[in-house]
Structure 1
Amino acid sequence: MPRGFAACPLAPCTREETAMHDHRKLGRELDLFDTDPLMGAGLPYWLPDGAAVRHALEEYVRGAEVRAGYRHVYSPPLGKRELYEISGHWSHYREDMFPPMELGGEQVVLRPSLCPHHALIYRSRPHSYRELPLRMAELGGMYRAERSGVLGGLTRVRAIQLNDAHIFCTLEQAAAEARAALELIGEAYAALGIRPVRHRLSLPGPGGKYVADPALWERASALLVEVLDGAGIGYEEAEGEAAFYGPKIDVQIADPAGREATLSTVQIDFHQPERFDLHYIGADGAKHRPVMVHRSVIGSVERLVAHLIELYGGAFPAWLAPTQLVVLPVSEAELPAARGLVADCLDRGLRADLAEPYRGSLGARIREARLVPYQAVIGPREAAAGEVALRLRDGRRLDPRPAAEALSRIAAQVAAHRTDLWDEPAG
């Protein structure tokens, strides 16, 4: 098992602690991700343990979105240059996009954002006011030509997997939908154990490339202020941080050194519905323009995992841990029982590993697995009785209990996305 470290306390870290928790170093030591010059800068790849964390995050957020009334789509990572000319990305964001590729006499571009594709998906079918709000979600790839000097680990990359969604709704529904998105973000942060450092109302600033429509900015900003005030959330205004097409609420996190980054966002957009000529049929039988609410609950998977590595030092909550339970037979004689327990774990959807005796003494194997949330020790007595003696990552030891009971408890903790390991005192 890879090495790991305890997470920083809430007090500011020392320089040594900050270096120890740098996800660029720790993520490689934990065998979560890595890079290769032949793949290119800003293009990390995920190792099996990192992929397991990523899959857990993706499954969590998709489930949360389905329960909140979202429907999921897939869209291609390429689009014609014309698409981004219509959306406004080409004129306002071209410097951060990859150059066009010539293909069959046309120019295609790696997308810098998912919203133009979702606008086209909405436009492909007629819609009635009775369908709204229509909540469309996707965990999809987007690509940005970040300069080499700003690339780093997972926090600034060129290929991004974004948890994105766009809600098409009436003007009267927009504030409620944005407020519900903020609530979904809060629920996700509770499951992840993340505490935002502040909420920011990001507004246009002087000299930026923004859509020139003062009325648009005023309407969207007023709605976002209404959302923040209605939710009782304090915020700070930040000029120059808006998207080119509208203001946004940014949920800010900080690394152990105190450096801030935006993880989650909520935006209200009047611009792209106009550009793509989106409409719905109202109760009066006439065409009306929908409002487009952009929101990302967990932001990019890359930036989120970077933050979680630094937050937990590799000791992830059980539902996120690459290996959730390690089975430790005391000797070769207990191997059949141990293998059966691992198979039972897999049947329950738990990620389990078998630490066989050839890997060292029981004490050495326990130390090797110190980042695993649950360690199930099986000695002669446990093997004979169909029991396990659980050791928790926090040092607690539980009395031997039936293996099926132990796995049911662990599976329940994982399914509930809890950040604690066990809710009863150790024996």
Structure 2
Amino acid sequence: MRDHRRIGRELGYFHSAPLVGAGLPIWLPDGAAARHAVESYLHEVERRAGYRHVYSPPLARREMFERSGHLPHFAEEMFPGMADGEGELFLRPSLCPHHAQVYASRGRSYRELPLRVGELGPMHRMERSGVLGGLSRVRAVSLNDGHIFCRPDQVAGEIARELGLLRRAHRAVGIEAARYRLSLAGAGDKYVKELPWERAAQLLREGLAGAGLRADEEPGEAAFYGPKIDVQIVDPAGREQTLSTVQVDFFQPERFGLSYVDADGERRRPVMVHRSLLGSMERLMAHLLEVHDGALPAWWRRCRRWCCRSVRGRRTRRGSSRTGRSNGGYASRSGTTAPWERGSGRQRSAGCPSRR
């Protein structure tokens, strides 16, 4: 049976050191190179899709996680707080509260929406020691995350758009979705009660329909702040797990007081759409190693050279150049095919590491 822990050890991709701790893998040079190729691909795809990338710290004050709802509803999966002399700091279990602060950093107009914020950032979950294993279940997570702040009338269209982007990313790295799951609220105190749950679920259904997809509806699988679309994958052993998600959130914009000025001059509340194209780098790499039996698709060695080519020989002034608008410091290669989109996603390459 294919086991990414054995494959990763033979290839020298990652190491689990007892002195570091369970669920805290170290990426070795070859594994880091493979991961960087995927990260470069994601950054370029998101940039072309209109995302603005940010960096945010993995810590925040107690007050932020109380307001976001994580401490009241998610504390059992968070690490204990650390005293800093003025209160407590917590390792974040998700990136969304920080991205809400990106939105809140200045006033917003309806003309700016949708605002798409992306980050491949660290977060930490206090997983039980009994469920930790290799890269598939860890405590230090590197998440390909993004949040879209939009008007209510834009939500369904943004969901459909993100599902299309997500499917493109899956094809590029050689992943097939087993099914799509519409995860709804269930019974119990896990979920925030005073939310428009059915309205959020209906927006997800409209987004699925717009993308031409169907999903199995399952109560009890939603996030505490809203329903979500989970993209389920199956490993070679037949085990199912969630890789990517798209979520609708009315809760955090309300809790953080986010707003924009509408065309009529009134302040309105945006809707927050959470999404991850390829999930965490750890779970993604574990799945790729098992699906491809250690021989990753041919593009991963080439894509760094393709993604980050600087604009040469062009003078840029105030965001424009002689040949047109500058694109964030990257060369425009419209009409060309990216290395990760050439040929089959399952293609083996002589340049890829092989296990002998």
Whether TM exceeds 0.5 here: the answer is yes
Alpha-carbon displacement from aligned partner over 1:327-346 (angstroms, at most 9, x marks no partner): xxxxxxxxxxxxxxxxxxx9
The match for 2:202 is 222
Distance 2:57 2:305 in 1: 34
Q: How many corresponding residue pairs?
A: 320
Q: 1:98 to 1:347 in 2, by over 3 A?
A: closer
Question: TM-score when scaled to structure 2?
Answer: 0.86
Residue 143 of structure 1 and its aligned partner are, at CA, apart by 0.2
The equivalent position to 2:30 in structure 1, one of 33, 49, 53, is: 49
Take 2:179 and 2:35, find their aligned partners in 1: how far apart are those partners?
A: 25
- 1:31-180, aligned counterparts within 5 Å? 31-180=12-161
Q: Larger RCO: Structure 1 or Structure 2 (Cα < 8 Å, ≥ 6 residues apart)?
A: 2
Distance 1:154 1:213, change over 3 A: same
Q: For residues 168-189 of structure 1, what are the alpha-carbon distances to aligned partners after superposition, in whole Å with 9 as ceiling and x for unaligned? A: 0000001111111101111001
Alpha-carbon distance, 1:414 to partner: 2.7
1:414 aligns with 2:339: yes
Higher helix share: 1
Query: CA, structure 1 residues 415+194, in 2 after alignment: closer, same or farther (shift >3 Å)?
Result: closer
CA–CA separation in structure 2 for the residues paired with 1:213 and 1:28 = 48
Per-residue deviation, 1:232: 2.0
Matching residue of 1:294:
274
Give 5+ residue unaligned stretches, structure 2. Answer: 308-335, 350-356
Whole-Å separation in 2 of the counterparts to 1:315 and 1:413: 20
Amino acid paired to 1:61 = L
Write the deviation string for residues 65-97 of structure 1: whole angstroms up to 9, x where unpaired: 000000000000000011000000000000000
Name the TM-score, length of structure 1 as normaliser: 0.72
For 1:262, what is the secondary structure of its paired residue?
A: strand
**Structure 1 residues 413 and 91: alpha-carbon distance in aligned structure 2, compared to 1, 3 A threshold:** closer
CA displacement at 1:206 relative to structure 2: 1.5
Aligned with residue 296 of structure 2, among 316, 324, 341: 316
Q: Is there any run of 5+ residues in structure 1 with no aligned partner, and where?
A: 1-17, 325-345, 350-410, 423-427
Partner of 2:194: 213
Q: CA deviation at 1:263?
A: 0.4
CA distance in 1, matches of 2:154, 2:9: 45
Matched, 1:242 2:222: yes
Compare 200-209 and 158-167 and name the one that shifted more: 200-209
User: Could you tell me how far apart the structure 1 residues matched to 2:299 and 2:189 are?
Assistant: 42
- Partner residue of 1:202 out of 175, 183, 189: 183
Asked if the contact 1:413–1:421 (Cα under 8 Å) also holds between the matched residues in 2, the reply is: no
Question: Are 1:191 and 2:191 counterparts?
Answer: no
**Which one of the candidate residues 211, 216, 241 is aligned to 1:261?**
241
